[in-house]
Amino acid sequence: MESLSEKAQVLQKKIQDAISHAHTLEELEQVRLAYLTRQSELALLMAQLKTMTPEQKKEFGPRFNALRAQAEELYESKKKQLQQTQYQAHERKKEFFDVTAYQPRLRHGSLHPYTHVIEQIENVFISMGYCVVDGPELDDEYTNFEALNVPAHHPARDMQDTLWLELPKKLMRTQTSTLQIRSMQQQKPPLAILACGRAYRYEATDATHDYVFMQTEGLLVDKNISMANLLATTKTFLAAIFDTKRIELRIRPSYFPFVEPGVEIDMQCIFCSNGCSVCKQSRWIEIVGAGLVHPNVLKACNVDPSVYTGFAFGFGLTRLTMLRYGINDIRLLHSPDLDFLKQF
Ligand code: FA5
């Protein structure tokens, strides 16, 4: 039985070595299959107890049981250790997540068509000596209407459906003409200002009308300003934006309470030759209202109408942009449609 004892010692050493040399859970599983299952070397050794005499059982039973208990304990503690190592390695991988490894296809941005047109307009007017100004979109009734010669109950208030706020006499400006008033209140003539900004109207939308759109306001006040100055300025401006040799303009008398006389200028529709839904079958698209500043407006801003005269214009910047780039629906200008925006 001496050799059985040696056998047990050798087996114990083999199991200890095998467990300590297992570096992964997969390797440890191979050790379990080899030494700790029912067909393993250890099980075969223990099976020999059945054929032993009671004295031998007394001697070898506890030794073999201790050998098995020690082997199982070693196995369990090694398993825990390897599981922890594996978990830590997994967490470390997450910790060092390489954010630069994922590189989505780069998309280059481009300027919005409004930005292109505003830049062009401002450059033309700055070169003619105008100052670019800005003002609030949320404004008051006095600046948007009364100072512009549109008192309360004047029928001209119906020309521009207004978005009123739940604040006394406050509204979203219906026109950038408010900048005429604000500029004359801040600066004495001679003055020449240009403003590009949003206007708001309580209107149903269609291909050429929106409830928020852009206007470009211009105002020149000096001595001896006439309609000739207004028309020359308009032509210079339009020539810089469009090829006026190809595009026809039409000037018609019109009414705006803040100018006298008043005109409207239409541009030939570039989308058709016989009428379409954009020009409402008329072949013309209205782009600007203008005229000589009404003496009442000058007086409201403490400018003496017997000394100074001036002209003012309000371009539909949105419509100019549509004509400039051949955009046939105004609503596209506010859309986030990348296929549309990528073209500019
Ligand atoms: C005005 O707003 C005047 N303030 C213009 C003006 C300024 C006249 C200075 C005289 C002196 P009107 O409502 O016509 O006028 O608008 C001017 C331009 O804005 C129009 O010619 C048109 O091109 C554009 N426009 C008007 N309503 C809309 C709308 N709902 N959607 C898009 N563009 C519009």
- The answer to whether 326 touches 343, Cβ cutoff 8 Å, is no
Residue 313: CB within 6 Å of ligand 1?
A: yes
- Tell me how far the alpha carbon of residue 125 lies from the centroid of ligand 1, in angstroms: 19
User: Cα Rg for the chain, rounded, in angstroms?
Assistant: 44
What percent of the chain lies above the pLDDT cut of 90?
61
Residue 201: CB within 6 Å of ligand 1?
A: yes
Question: 284 φ, ψ to 5°?
Answer: -125, 145
Give the lowest-confidence range in 151-155, 219-223, 293-297: 151-155
On the question of pLDDT at 344 being above 90, the answer is no
Q: Return the structure tokens found at 16.
A: 């200890």
Pairing mode, if any, of strands 170-172 and 138-140?
antiparallel
Q: For residue range 109-166, what is the model confidence (pLDDT) as tens digits?
A: 889 999 999 999 999 999 999 999 999 999 999 999 999 999 988 887 877 789 999 9
Separation in Å, CA 206 to CA 10, 128, 198: 94, 35, 18
Residue 116: CB within 6 Å of ligand 1?
A: no
**Position 1 confidence tier, pLDDT thresholds 50, 70, 90:** very low
Residue 291: CB within 6 Å of ligand 1?
A: yes
How many other CB atoms are there within 10 angstroms of residue 184's CB atom?
24
pLDDT of residue 246: 65
pLDDT of residue 230: 94
Cα distance between residue 197 and residue 194, in whole Å: 10
- Tell me how far the alpha carbon of residue 334 lies from the centroid of ligand 1, in angstroms: 18
How many other CB atoms are there within 10 angstroms of residue 58's CB atom?
10
Residue with CA nearest ligand 1 atom 24: 316
- Tell me how far the alpha carbon of residue 315 lies from the centroid of ligand 1, in angstroms: 6
Q: Tell me which residue of 1, 110, 114 sits closest to 61, measured CA to CA.
A: 1
Residue with CA nearest ligand 1 atom 10: 290
Partners of 105 in the β-ladder:
none
Mean pLDDT of 280-290: 90
- The atom of ligand 1 lying closest to the CA of 320 is 23
Residue 259: CB within 6 Å of ligand 1?
A: yes
Residue with CA nearest ligand 1 atom 27: 209
Dihedral Cα 144, 150, 153, 156, nearest 10 deg: -100
Residue with CA nearest ligand 1 atom 30: 209
Cα distance between residue 239 and residue 56, in whole Å: 117
Q: Return the structure tokens found at 223.
A: 């001595």
Summary mean pLDDT of the chain: 91
The residue count for the chain = 344
Cα distance between residue 211 and residue 206, in whole Å: 10
Q: What's the whole-model pTM score? A: 0.70
Mean pLDDT of 171-198: 97
- The atom of ligand 1 lying closest to the CA of 174 is 2
Q: For residue range 47-93, what is the model confidence (pLDDT) as tens digits?
A: 888 888 888 888 888 988 999 999 999 999 999 999 999 999 888 88
Residue with CA nearest ligand 1 atom 2: 175
Q: For residue range 9-50, what is the model confidence (pLDDT) as tens digits?
A: 899 999 999 999 999 999 999 999 999 988 888 888 888 888
* Alpha helices (H) along 226-333: 227-241, 295-300, 317-325
Question: Which residue is it, tokens 């852009």?
Answer: 214
Residue with CA nearest ligand 1 atom 31: 209
Question: 196 φ, ψ to 5°?
Answer: -110, 130
Residue 218: CB within 6 Å of ligand 1?
A: no
Q: Is 327 exposed, middle or buried (0-12, 13-18, 19+ CB in 10 A)?
A: buried
Q: Tell me which residue of 290, 276, 311, 33 sits closest to 192, measured CA to CA.
A: 311
Residue with CA nearest ligand 1 atom 22: 316
Q: For residue range 239-266, what is the model confidence (pLDDT) as tens digits?
A: 888 765 666 788 999 999 999 999 998 8
What percent of the chain lies above the pLDDT cut of 70?
98
pLDDT of residue 7: 87
pLDDT of residue 6: 87
Residue 294: CB within 6 Å of ligand 1?
A: no
Residue with CA nearest ligand 1 atom 28: 209
- Tell me how far the alpha carbon of residue 342 lies from the centroid of ligand 1, in angstroms: 28
- The atom of ligand 1 lying closest to the CA of 262 is 10
